[in-house]
């Protein structure tokens, strides 16, 4: 029987899984062919197909195969063998280039895509940021990912997911040694510079969320010269902070696992644990800030976030609740 493309992809994934499991040891050709139900020659062909896709695989007679290097690329082949989630990222839509992963995910969701389907791209030509801004998306360096979520939530509670995602991204970055903090509501910063951003888009009716598209951009391996000049000033990346490159697929699967753990907790216990963790990771609370909201500017001390994620601001006129806006820290001028 002639193998289909789908079978080839599954075989490649299974071989990769076994090689990854073996770590620095060899996986024997016999074990691989037994697990896959393929002849030794067919296994050899799968290994060669993987090499053509940029995997460095050592082959030693009578010992077997060993994975030496994986390519830094984001497709199902790189993502699925590492994935530890039950839903998130189990279906991957990967592209070399897209206008926006969120725009694409929104279309897929409207056509019926399931909870957890993931859209990733090597670059975006029209990356979208919050409040109508654009998101600089140079090719091959960073993470541009959008997830279709189908939470059982009334629309008023959807903003909780934005704060939840910020917590998950901050924890994934911290897991790599990058001490990122959250600027309300969901900017991820290191040393006052932006390292990641989250865009939540919603399709809902009065009492029910149809779906949420969670768009996450993380500056992983970009150098300042990869960004437009105005962004280079205000942005940083994991590579800049740590002084070394990170494997984007490995980062993504850790992020998906963390995100799924928080989503599960949120489903079981509600927003309170997310709120507590958000507070601990926030750089906004306790600071004197200027909040630029839709039709007004407010200045005051960021006291807390409310039970629904709104910012509670102590102004001269009293306590204000801010649902959406941009926060700027007011420098020491005001505190001294």
Interface residues with ligand BTN (CB under 6 A) are 100-102, 124, 127-130, 133, 135, 144-146, 187, 197-199, 215-217
Q: What's the min distance (Å) between Cβ of 98 and ligand BTN?
A: 8
Phi and psi at residue 113, to the nearest 5°: -55, 150
Whichever of 217 and 309 has its CB closer to ligand BTN, that residue is: 217
Residue nearest to ligand BTN (CB): 197
- DSSP classification of residue 94: E
Q: Which bin fits 131, alpha (ψ -120 to 50), beta or left (φ > 0)?
A: left
Q: How many residues does the chain have?
A: 336
Radius of gyration for the alpha carbons in the chain, expressed in angstroms and rounded: 22
Whichever of 27 and 241 has its CB closer to ligand BTN, that residue is: 241
Whichever of 61 and 132 has its CB closer to ligand BTN, that residue is: 132
Q: What's the min distance (Å) between Cβ of 182 and ligand BTN?
A: 11
Whichever of 124 and 284 has its CB closer to ligand BTN, that residue is: 124
Q: What's the min distance (Å) between Cβ of 325 and ligand BTN?
A: 13
Interior/surface letters 23-42, b for 16+ CB within 10 angstroms, e for the rest: eeebbebeebbeebebeeee
Q: What's the min distance (Å) between Cβ of 72 and ligand BTN?
A: 18
Whichever of 119 and 241 has its CB closer to ligand BTN, that residue is: 119
- DSSP classification of residue 90: S
Q: What's the min distance (Å) between Cβ of 118 and ligand BTN?
A: 11
Nearest in space to 186 (alpha carbons), one of 309, 312, 315: 309
Helix (H, G, I), strand (E, B) or coil at 157: helix
- Residue 331 makes CB contacts below 8 A (sequence gap 6+) with none
**Can you tell me the distance from the alpha carbon of 50 to that of 44, in angstroms, rounded to the nearest whole number?**
10
Q: What's the min distance (Å) between Cβ of 85 and ligand BTN?
A: 18
Instruction: Answer whether 91's CB lies under 8 Å from 118's CB.
Output: yes
**Can you tell me the distance from the alpha carbon of 310 to that of 293, in angstroms, rounded to the nearest whole number?**
12
- DSSP classification of residue 182: E
Q: What's the min distance (Å) between Cβ of 136 and ligand BTN?
A: 9
- DSSP classification of residue 253: H
Whichever of 75 and 102 has its CB closer to ligand BTN, that residue is: 102
Whichever of 9 and 232 has its CB closer to ligand BTN, that residue is: 232
Whichever of 13 and 102 has its CB closer to ligand BTN, that residue is: 102
Whether the upstream peptide bond of residue 54 has omega within 30° of 0, thus cis, is no
Q: What's the min distance (Å) between Cβ of 36 and ligand BTN?
A: 35
């Amino acid at each position: 029987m002639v193998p289909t493309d789908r079978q080839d992809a599954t075989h490649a994934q299974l071989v990769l899984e076994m090689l990854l499991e073996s770590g620095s040891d060899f996986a024997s050709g016999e074990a691989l062919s037994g697990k896959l139900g393929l002849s030794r020659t067919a296994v050899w062909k799968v290994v060669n197909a993987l090499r053509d896709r940029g995997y460095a695989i050592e082959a030693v007679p009578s010992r077997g195969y060993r994975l030496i290097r994986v390519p830094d690329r984001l497709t199902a082949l790189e993502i699925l063998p590492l994935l530890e989630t039950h839903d998130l990222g189990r279906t991957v839509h990967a592209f070399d280039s897209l206008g926006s992963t969120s725009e694409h995910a929104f279309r897929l969701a409207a056509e019926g895509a399931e909870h957890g389907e993931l859209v990733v791209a090597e670059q975006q030509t029209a990356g979208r940021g919050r409040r109508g801004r654009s998101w600089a998306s140079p090719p091959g360096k960073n993470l541009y990912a959008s997830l279709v979520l189908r939470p059982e939530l009334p629309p008023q509670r959807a903003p909780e997911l934005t704060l939840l995602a910020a917590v998950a991204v901050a924890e994934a970055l911290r897991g790599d040694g990058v001490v990122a903090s959250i600027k309300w509501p969901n900017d991820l910063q290191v040393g006052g510079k932006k390292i990641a951003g989250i865009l939540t888009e919603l399709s809902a009716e009065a009492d029910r969320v149809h779906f949420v598209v969670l768009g996450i951009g993380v500056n992983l391996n970009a150098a300042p010269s990869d960004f437009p000049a105005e962004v280079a000033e205000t942005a940083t990346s994991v590579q800049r902070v740590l002084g070394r490159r990170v494997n984007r697929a490995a980062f993504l699967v850790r992020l998906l696992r963390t995100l799924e753990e928080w989503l599960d907790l949120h489903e079981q216990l509600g927003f309170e644990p997310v709120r507590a963790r958000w507070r601990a990771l926030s750089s906004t609370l306790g600071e004197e800030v200027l909040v630029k909201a839709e039709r007004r500017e407010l200045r005051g001390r960021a006291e807390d976030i409310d039970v629904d994620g709104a910012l509670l601001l102590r102004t001269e006129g009293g306590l204000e609740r801010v649902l959406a806006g941009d926060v700027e820290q007011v420098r020491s001028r005001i505190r001294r």
